C-alpha cells in the first residue's frame, strides 16, 4: 500500500500563473479531503469528496480555486491566477468512507513568486 500519493511534491510558480495539484487516494477509499497548511493559518479545510461527488466545499476560496474528482483514483486542486498568499503546503487525505480515519499524503509545497 503506497499510501496517499500527491504530485508534484514541490511547485514554484509565478504570480498569475495556474497551478494544478494531484492527489491519488488509497485504493478502495471513497472519500478524499483537501487541506491547506501555513504557519499563520495552520491546517485549513478546503473541500471534501465522497464517491467522487462534492460533499463539502465550504473551505474553498470563492475565487480562483476549484477541485474535481473525475474518477475514484485521483482528485485535482486547481488554482487559477496564483497569488503569493496562495503559497502553502496543500495536503490531501483519504478515508474508507468519510467519517472514519483519514490518511494524509506528504503534501505539495506550493511557492508563488
Partner 1 sequence: DAKTTQPDSMESTEGETVHLPCSHATISGNEYIYWYRQVPLQGPEYVTHGLQQNTTNSMAFLAIASDRKSSTLILPHVSLRDAAVYHCILRSNNNNAPRFGAGTKLSVKP
Q: Which residues contact 56 (CB under 8 A, 6 or more apart)?
A: 47, 48
Q: Is 101 in the site for partner 1 (CB under 8 A)?
A: yes
- Lay out the site mask for partner 1 across 29-68 (x = CB under 8 A, - = otherwise): ----x-x------xx-x-xx-x----xx--x---------
Q: Is 5 in the site for partner 1 (CB under 8 A)?
A: no
Q: Which of 93, 94, 110, 112 binds partner 1 (CB under 8 A)?
A: 93
Decide: 46 and 77 in contact? Cβ < 8 Å: yes
CB of 16 to partner 1, least distance (A): 28
Residue range at the interface with partner 1 (CB under 8 A); choices 10-18, 65-73, 76-84, 99-107: 99-107
Q: Is 28 in the site for partner 1 (CB under 8 A)?
A: no
DSSP 33-67: EEEEEETTTEEEEEEEEETTEEEE-TTS-SSSEEE
Decide: 32 and 49 in contact? Cβ < 8 Å: yes
- Sign of the Cα torsion 9, 82, 102, 76 reads negative
Binding site for partner 1 (CB under 8 A): 4, 33, 35, 42-43, 45, 47-48, 50, 55-56, 59, 91, 93, 97-107
Amino acid at each position: 500500500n503506497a499510501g496517499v500519493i500527491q504530485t508534484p511534491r514541490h511547485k514554484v510558480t509565478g504570480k498569475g500563473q495556474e497551478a494544478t495539484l494531484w492527489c491519488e487516494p488509497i485504493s478502495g477509499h471513497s472519500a478524499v479531503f483537501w487541506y491547506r497548511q501555513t504557519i499563520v493559518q495552520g491546517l485549513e479545510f478546503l473541500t471534501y469528496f465522497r464517491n467522487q461527488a462534492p460533499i463539502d466545499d465550504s473551505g474553498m476560496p470563492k475565487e480562483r480555486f476549484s477541485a474535481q474528482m473525475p474518477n475514484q483514483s485521483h482528485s485535482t486542486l486547481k488554482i487559477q491566477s496564483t497569488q503569493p498568499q496562495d503559497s502553502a503546503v496543500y495536503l490531501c487525505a483519504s478515508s474508507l468512507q468519510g467519517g472514519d480515519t483519514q490518511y494524509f499524503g506528504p503534501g505539495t509545497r506550493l511557492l508563488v513568486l
